[in-house]
């Protein structure tokens, strides 16, 4: 599903003294099947942007087009449920949404709401619990007996169980241990490719954005500051630093090397592998000092 934002503005508590403009003049297109990372300083409007993707928030002006549906300030589809089935959202700290007696029931909750038969939902729960890196015997436990990280995984499984076409992730790995983070990110990437999902990931990790995303949207103070491939976005480190962001460590390393040795490294050095290769090239070419 293609997603298009046209002149989207969102004001919280509109028409009251507490009004607060969280988004303005957002024009952005996300093509079907893309992996898009949304980065930006805290409070820049990332979460607000995401909630427009499945009609949880309506723009106060402008329009959001999601596939066939168009959502504007005065019009939204009478039936939001089909849209919510297609667009799965993992919120910031999704563990707060758990409520059932057992993990299995909680994972099945979403699918059952959308009319999936019970045995089918249960089968899916068994499959997903392994996918998110937990063992099957967790299924019969209460979600409230689990650790924070385990709860997070269960909540994510609960959203994946909807089998959405568009997967929206709001800082899904915040607070996980390094290995858990890597596993999770790899898992999302695998799903993205295997199921041809459209993935929108909000992250504070420039490394993750560089490694996984096809495109990066940079939010700044409520509007889109930049939109491009990781290579384009991370080309100008100073500008990013000025709005409170940074470039991946590997890009910093590349810049240091270029400065020290007075060479130009053609590779964008977005991942460790690319960087290692670029350094190898330096040695092979014999350009080392």
Ligand X SMILES: Nc1ncnc2c1ncn2[C@@H]1O[C@H](COP(=O)(O)OP(=O)(O)OP(=O)(O)O)[C@@H](O)[C@H]1O
Interacting residues with other proteins (CB under 8 A): 13, 16-18, 51, 54, 56, 81, 84-85, 88-89, 91, 94, 96-99, 109-110, 113-114, 144, 158-159, 162
The site partner of 162 among other proteins, Mg ion, ligand X, none (C-beta below 5 to 8 Å per kind) is: other proteins
Q: Among other proteins, ligand X, Mg ion, none, what does residue 81 contact (CB within 5–8 Å per kind)? A: other proteins
Determine contact, residues 202/169, Cβ cutoff 8 Å. Answer: yes
Q: Helix H segments across 54-177?
A: 81-86, 103-113, 118-131, 148-160
18 versus 264: smaller Cβ distance to other proteins: 18
Centre a 10 Å sphere on the Cβ of residue 267 and count the other Cβ atoms it contains.
Answer: 14
Which of Mg ion, other proteins, ligand X, none lies near 159, with the C-beta cut-off 5 to 8 A by kind?
A: other proteins
> Is residue 7 within the footprint of ligand X (CB under 6 A)?
no
| Distance separating alpha carbons of residues 110 and 125, to the nearest angstrom | 11
20 binds, among ligand X, other proteins, Mg ion, none (CB under 5 to 8 A by kind): ligand X
The minimum distance between CB 98 and other proteins, in angstroms, equals 7
Is residue 58 near ligand X by the rule CB under 6 A?
Answer: no
Q: Which CB, 85 or 220, lies closer to other proteins?
A: 85
Partnered with residue 168 across adjacent β-strands are 89, 200
Q: Answer yes or no: are the C-beta atoms of 126 and 139 closer than 8 Å.
A: yes
The backbone region for 247, taken as left when phi is positive above 0, alpha when psi lies in -120 to 50, beta otherwise, is beta
Per-residue tokens: 259 = 């400065």
């Amino acid at each position: 599903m293609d997603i298009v934002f046209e002149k989207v503005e969102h004001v919280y508590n509109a028409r009251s003294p507490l009004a607060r403009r969280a988004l303005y003049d957002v024009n952005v297109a996300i093509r079907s099947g893309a992996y898009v990372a949304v980065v930006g300083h805290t409070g820049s409007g990332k979460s607000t942007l995401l909630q427009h993707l499945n009609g949880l928030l309506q723009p106060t002006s402008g329009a959001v087009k999601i596939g066939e549906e168009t959502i504007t300030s005065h019009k939204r589809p009478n039936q939001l449920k089909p849209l919510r089935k297609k667009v799965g959202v993992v919120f910031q700290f999704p563990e707060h949404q758990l409520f059932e007696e057992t993990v299995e029931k909680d994972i099945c909750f979403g699918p059952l709401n959308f009319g999936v038969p019970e045995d089918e939902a249960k089968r899916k729960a068994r499959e997903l619990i392994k996918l998110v890196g937990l063992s099957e015997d967790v299924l019969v436990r209460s979600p409230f007996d689990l650790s924070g990280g385990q709860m997070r995984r269960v909540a994510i499984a609960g959203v994946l169980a909807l089998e959405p076409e568009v997967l929206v992730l709001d800082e899904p790995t915040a607070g996980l241990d390094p290995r858990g983070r890597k596993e999770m990110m790899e898992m999302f990437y695998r799903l993205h490719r295997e199921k041809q999902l459209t993935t929108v990931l909000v992250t504070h990790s420039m490394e993750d954005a560089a490694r996984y995303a096809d495109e990066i949207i940079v939010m700044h103070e409520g509007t889109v500051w930049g939109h491009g491939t990781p290579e384009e976005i991370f080309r100008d480190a100073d500008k990013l630093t000025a709005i409170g962001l940074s470039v991946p460590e590997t890009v910093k390393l590349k810049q240091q090397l270029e400065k020290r040795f007075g060479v130009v490294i053609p590779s964008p050095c977005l991942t460790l592998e690319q960087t290692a290769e670029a350094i190898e090239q330096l040695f092979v070419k014999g350009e080392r000092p």
